[in-house]
Amino acid sequence: MYCRIMINGVVQGIGFRPFVYNIANKHEMKGFVLNRGDAGVEIQVKGNKGQIDTFINDLKDHKPALARYETFKIDYNPSNVNLARYNSFQIAPSSLTRSTEGSYIPPDLPICNKCLSEMKFDSRRIDYPFTSCVDCGPRYTVITSLPYDRPRTVMDEFPLCPDCLEEYTNPFDRRFHAQTTCCWNCGPRYYLLDKFGNIILNKRDFQHNWLDVVEIIDEGEIIAIKGIGGTHLACCTTNDDPIQKLRQWKGARGDKPFAVMSPNINRVKEFAILSPNETKLLQSLMRPIILLEKKQEFPLSSLISPALHNIGVLLPYAGIHFLLSENINDPALIMTSGNPSNIPILIDNDAIQHQLASIADYFLVHDRKIYQRADDSVMRLHMLNEFEYPLLIRRSRGYVPKPIQLPWSSPSCIALALGAEMYNVGALGIGSRCFPTQHIGHMTTIENLDFFKSTVNHMRNLFGIESLDAIGGDLHPEFFTTKLGQQLSSELDIPFFQFQHHFAHLGALALEANVDPEESIICVTLDGTGYGEDGTIWGGEILFGNYSGYERVAHLEKQTLLGGDQAVSNPYRVLLGILLSNYSLEEVTEDFLRIPWLSWIPNKPDYPIVAQQLERIITHKSLKGASMTSSCGRLLDAISVLLGAARNRTYEGEPAIKLESFAEIAIGKTSDVDLKLNSKLTTSGMIEIQTSPLIYDLWERIQRKQNRNELALLVEKAIARKFAEIALDLAEKHGVTKIGLSGGVCYNRVIFTEFYHYISKYGKSNFPIAHKKIPCGDGGIAIGQVPLILAKIL
Q: Which of 334, 335, 274 is nearest to 301 (CA)?
A: 334
Angle at which helix 692-703 crosses helix 572-579, to 10 degrees, equals: 90
- pLDDT above 90: percentage of residues in the chain: 81
DSSP state of 780: G
Q: What is each CA distance from 670 to 617, 654, 673, 712, in whole angstroms? A: 38, 25, 8, 11
- Asked if 453 and 424 touch (Cβ cutoff 8 Å), the reply is no
- Asked if 6 and 37 touch (Cβ cutoff 8 Å), the reply is no
Q: Does the CA dihedral 728-513-754-581 come out positive or negative?
A: negative
C-alpha to C-alpha distance for 263 and 314, rounded to whole angstroms: 9
Q: By three-state DSSP, how is residue 680 classified?
A: strand
Pairing mode, strands 470-474 and 414-417: parallel
C-alpha to C-alpha distance for 533 and 479, rounded to whole angstroms: 15
C-alpha to C-alpha distance for 243 and 253, rounded to whole angstroms: 12
Return the bridge partners of 334, or none.
235, 260
Band the pLDDT of 701: cuts 50, 70, 90.
Answer: very high
Q: Which amino acid is at 698?
A: L
> What's the mean per-residue pLDDT of the chain?
93
Inform me whether the pLDDT recorded for 102 exceeds 80.
no
Mean pLDDT confidence for 624-636: 89
- Asked if 246 and 260 touch (Cβ cutoff 8 Å), the reply is no
How long, in residues, is the chain?
Answer: 794
Low-confidence winner among 93-107, 215-229, 556-570 (lowest mean pLDDT): 93-107
Q: What is each CA distance from 643 to 164, 229, 659, 703, in whole angstroms? A: 63, 41, 8, 11
The number of beta carbons lying within 10 Å of the beta carbon of residue 148 is 25
Inform me whether the pLDDT recorded for 136 exceeds 70.
yes
Mean pLDDT confidence for 699-726: 94
pLDDT digits (tens, 9 = 90+) for 680-698: 998 888 999 999 999 999 9
Mean pLDDT confidence for 485-500: 97
Band the pLDDT of 386: cuts 50, 70, 90.
Answer: confident
C-alpha to C-alpha distance for 174 and 320, rounded to whole angstroms: 22
Inform me whether the pLDDT recorded for 184 exceeds 80.
yes
Q: By three-state DSSP, how is residue 215 classified?
A: helix
